[in-house]
Amino acid sequence: MKSMAILFPGQGSQYVGMGKDWYDSDASARDLFIRGDEILGFKLSEICFNGPEEELRQTRNTQPAIFLHSVGVLMSQKNLDPRMAAGHSLGEYSAFVAAGAMEFETALKLVRLRGELMQRAGEENKGTMAAIVGLPNDSLEALCREASPEGIVQPANFNSPGQTVISGSVQGVKKAMELAKQRGAKLVKELVVSGAFHSPLMASAQDGLRKALEETEIHNARFPVYCNVTGEPVTEAGEIRDSLNRQLTSPVRWEQTIKNMVRDGATQFCEIGPGKVLQGLARRTEPSVPVTGIDRFSDVRELAIG
């Protein structure tokens, strides 16, 4: 019997036009976009469908836009029977909605607040991020420690074997990039981001989010969600609240998440939401496990789940 694991993308997967085909073709997705606009008090759907790209790339808009697309697709797929879920950074909120731990409206408001807090933290505490390819995780962690006298720097995303993102102050990240090149990294590339996500420079955002999470009704999950902070499954409401708060300043342990889902019986992955980033990461991490995705409405006809 196949055991489906669903995956939800995070920031960086957005594109102008996302969700428009669902709005035009699927009643449940259309209703969700309309509800989302009403809850937020502005036409986020218009930014998703028509841009401009600069507006969509604003963190305060990007995060609820990706969430809205992912959950809209999810709600339209009545035949999905997931046994577990995970989401990359922001995508964790989509995963907890899928698992029944949060209501759609509650999660959308939290995601919008999270995006606003992270954008503000990025403006107040200037930082950057960089992709490093071709170094083992332990070498990269040691390299960040070596670079830290220059400024804050730490791994932000352990995405797949040999593919990592680092985050921190401009000086700290630049020093770590220099060291990575010296140690033989295949690729070292600074990313265009609005802040040093998943680093201590997000502490002010974490403080604001903690208060909101304390006031948010969270339920026990119906099935396990593998959290970014540890890569391990959580189902209990208190654990969910804690993991979402810690996530802002902690690395995303995505490689471990994928491995642990396979360890616990996942036999098929399906990415739900914009883009194909997580499909690529899953294939690189667990190449023997089939991977599919639902982004555009046309993907459903091509999808064979069973």
Smallest CA-to-CA distance from 95 within 218, 248, 249 is with 218
Sign of the CA dihedral with 110 first, then 165, 168, and 174 last: negative
Whether residue 132 contacts residue 164, with contact meaning beta carbons closer than 8 Å, is answered with: yes
Say which CATH topology domain 4-123+200-302 has. Answer: Malonyl-Coenzyme A Acyl Carrier Protein; domain 2 (3.40.366)
Whether residue 196 contacts residue 128, with contact meaning beta carbons closer than 8 Å, is answered with: yes
- For residue range 126-158, list pLDDT tens digits in order: 999 999 999 999 999 999 999 999 999 999 999
126-191 homologous superfamily: Malonyl-CoA ACP transacylase, ACP-binding (3.30.70.250)
Fold match flag (4-123+200-302 vs 126-191)? no
Smallest CA-to-CA distance from 205 within 305, 302, 72, 115 is with 115
Enumerate the domain spans of the chain. Answer: 4-123+200-302, 126-191
Per-residue pLDDT at 305: 46
Per-residue pLDDT at 306: 40
Token pair of 88 as six digits: 């990359």
Per-residue pLDDT at 42: 96
Beta strands in 105-231 (DSSP E): 128-133, 153-160, 163-168, 187-191, 225-226
Active site residues: 89, 198
pTM: 0.95
* Radius of gyration over every alpha carbon of the chain, rounded to an integer in angstroms: 18
pLDDT less than 70: residues of the chain: 1, 301-306
